[in-house]
Amino acid sequence: MIAEGIRKAFRTASGEEAVLQGVSFALAPTDHVAILGASGSGKTTLLRILAGLERADAGRISLDDDDITDWPPERRRVVYMPQDALLFPHLSALENVLFPLRVQGISDADARERARPLMARLGLDAHAGKRPDALSGGQRQRVAFGRAILASPRVLLLDEPFGALDHAARSEMQSVFLDVVVEQSLATLFVTHDPGEALRIGTRWGHLAAGVLHLFHDREAFVTADRTGIPQERSFWASI
Amino acid sequence: MKRILSVVMALFPVVLLMGLTVSWVDGWPTLARWSVLGQSGIPVQEGLWTSAGVALVVAAISTILGAGTARAMQASRWRSVLMPLAWLPWAVSPVIAGILFMVVYLRAGIDGTVLSVMLAHLVFSGAYAVVLMDGFWRRDVARLEETGRTLGASGSHLFAHVLWPAMRRPLMLVFAQTFLISWFQYGVTLLVGAGRVQTLPVLVFGFVGEANVYLAAMASLLLVIPPMLLLWVTRNEWTT
């Protein structure tokens, strides 16, 4: 995926507020780009534009050789996973996971066959028949993740997906996530406000502030850049 | 215990009204007086069918219009102006609104008709349906739709597998509530119907005015039973 010069501004009572100011990046097929940014830095808007859920004021998005800037979300195969799992409340955990396969017209038996190993891999076997309101936060995220994987996305966009989980569940989900995306050779763009999570998940890193994206091409550059706040955090912990 | 209590409470008005319609004076109570329902010149039967017809048509149209209008308003920049308009019919007293309708219908030449009564009821029921469905659309429905789209679902698939299952219950509740609003409407019906459209509430007040206790109780019973059946049929929707 290549994004070039993405711009977006929102109208507010006090005038126009620029949220993204010419964001550009390239995402290789097996890249895991972790973008660090504080609340209000434009992370969610960027992901929504890439997924086709919002229109950019300017810029171009291409995927493989297609210009997908004006494509509707359902045509892009770019799956967006927000912080709250947003499971379909009337469907069971398994039915949620099967949703993208049913959309593709795959028969129920085939869909279940394809979902079985993934359900086991995500530890959801025992919860397959449960409705979302009967699942824990971690289980709901696993279901949302399984559903996203079975959509066979060309790019998976994750918007602080583990932000609402407790420390243990979060750490466990990060491990599962890494194992599965590596196994499936997925390209992912992962936004977070947690430097530790960005370091654990990413193979490349970026920092978004005030709508401007700064990319780092190696881990050392990322952890030593003042703009990320990581050096300050490290010195804080070292001082204790 | 709670179940028994709620059944007793629900049946209390029915039993009371039933008691008033049977004869206790000439020996054992009988349903002999109910035979007047079949006699000509006593318009209870006709009132029942008029009330049922008006309420069903009004509820059906209100539910469809309310769902569509509330949905369109979500995307409208004018939502903050339009929503207070939906509350307006309730801010104006039904009697005052009825007088306004009467003037308009007189000029249009449709006063005193079932159509005029339906149109007047629609203003109240339709506005209420918009308010109720606005609450539905403002929840996570739009985000669930977005999720479905990024997972590859087309418009028809989204409607069949995401929207309709989520909408079914609220639509049923809106239908039940708008039915009840129309079913029990008295002041507006009396003014707009000009005494020529005899719905059950109009008849009940007429019988009470004539001090005809038996017929008033009989008509009241007919007025109370259908809403109670409706509440019984939709009981799970109200309590969960």
Q: Where are the domains of chain B?
A: 44-198
Q: Does A104 touch chain B (CB under 8 A)?
A: yes
Q: Which residue type, as a one-letter code, is found at position A232?
A: Q
Which of A65, A129, A47 has the alpha carbon at shortest distance from B147?
A: A47
Q: Does A133 touch chain B (CB under 8 A)?
A: no
Q: Does A151 touch chain B (CB under 8 A)?
A: yes
Q: Are B63 and B175 in contact (CB under 8 A)?
A: yes
Contacts of B117 (CB under 8 A, 6+ apart): B54, B188, B189, B192, B193, B197, B199
User: Using the beta-carbon criterion (under 8 Å), do A53 and B146 form an inter-chain contact?
Assistant: yes
User: In the prediction, which pLDDT does B30 show?
Assistant: 63
SS3 B204: helix
Of residues B12 and A134, more confidently modeled:
A134
Q: Is the pLDDT of residue B82 over 90?
A: no
Q: In the block, which residue shows the tokens 């049923």?
A: B172
Which of B147, B161, B169, B237 is best to mutate for the A interface (most A CBs within 10 A)? Answer: B147
The two three-digit tokens of residue A6, written as one number: 């993405």
The pair phi, psi for residue A225, each rounded to 5°, is -75, 125
Task: Quote the CA–CA distance of B62 and A205 in Å, as a whole number.
Answer: 53
User: Residue A232: which pLDDT band, with cuts at 50, 70 and 90?
Assistant: confident
pLDDT tens digits, residue range B54-71?
A: 999 999 999 999 999 998
For residue A150, the chain B residue with the least C-alpha distance is B151
| Rounded to 5°, angle at Cα A107 from A128 and A183 | 60
Q: How far is CA A223 from the centre of its chain?
A: 21
Section A109-113 average pLDDT: 92
User: Using the beta-carbon criterion (under 8 Å), do B144 and A88 form an inter-chain contact?
Assistant: yes
User: Residue A236: which pLDDT band, with cuts at 50, 70 and 90?
Assistant: confident
Which of A50, A88, A87 has the alpha carbon at shortest distance from A71?
A: A50
pLDDT tens digits, residue range A44-103?
A: 999 999 999 999 999 999 998 899 999 999 999 999 998 888 999 889 999 999 999 998
SS3 A7: strand
Number of Cβ within 10 Å of residue B74's Cβ equals: 13
Q: Which residue type, as a one-letter code, is found at position B166?
A: A
**The residue count for chain A:** 240
Q: Is the pLDDT of residue B240 over 80?
A: no
User: Residue B73: which pLDDT band, with cuts at 50, 70 and 90?
Assistant: confident
pLDDT tens digits, residue range A115-152?
A: 999 899 888 989 999 999 999 888 998 999 999 999 99
User: In the prediction, which pLDDT does B125 show?
Assistant: 93
User: In the prediction, which pLDDT does B65 show?
Assistant: 94
User: In the prediction, which pLDDT does A157 show?
Assistant: 95
Q: Does A176 touch chain B (CB under 8 A)?
A: no
Residue B119: CA atoms inside 13 Å, Cβ hemisphere, count? 17
Greatest CA span in chain B, whole angstroms? Answer: 74
**CATH class (in words) of the domain with range B44-198:** mainly alpha
User: Which residues are B117's β-sheet partners?
Assistant: none
Contacts of B21 (CB under 8 A, 6+ apart): B31, B33, B34, B214, B217, B218, B221
Q: Alpha helices of A70-217 — where are they, by DSSP H? A: 73-76, 93-103, 108-121, 137-150, 167-183, 195-201
User: In the prediction, which pLDDT does B222 show?
Assistant: 82
Residue B26 DSSP code: T
The pLDDT mean for chain B works out to 83
Task: Quote the CA–CA distance of A47 and A52 in Å, as a whole number.
Answer: 9
